[in-house]
Amino acid sequence: MPTWINLQRISDERGGLVIAEAQKNIPFVIKRVYCLYDLNDKPRGFHAHKKLQQVMVCLVGSCEVMLDDGRTREMVKFDKFSQGLSLPIMIWHEVLNCSHDCVLMVLASDYYDEADYIRDYDFFKSSVMR
């Protein structure tokens, strides 16, 4: 299942800094970064990846993510910009209940490849149960 990563925080009288470093606190080389924003009440995601690893960080606001490894479902809340959630391969995920100001950043281990996505939940379940 996914695991929480504490991102390094440094702060002084000038303000704060949160650090994410590839192959240090991020468990892979980062090849793509994208952000979800202006989210509404419509859930997003509804897929798993065959090879892609990701780390999700909620930079602003909050949201919940439903995680499913084919055996266990778990709902986690994102509300700390200094924590990331590391998603290994073959984790079905859905982003829900986003605050109006939510900005969710995703660090990805590879470039976009539609062939890496599993978008059918029944196929996902049968794939992980083998």
Active centre residues (catalytic) = 47
CA distance 112 to 114: 7
Using the 8-state DSSP alphabet, how is residue 27 labeled?
S
Residue owning tokens 């778990």: 74
Number of C-beta neighbours around residue 12 at 10 A? 7
CA distance 74 to 65: 8
Token duo for residue 90: 């073959």
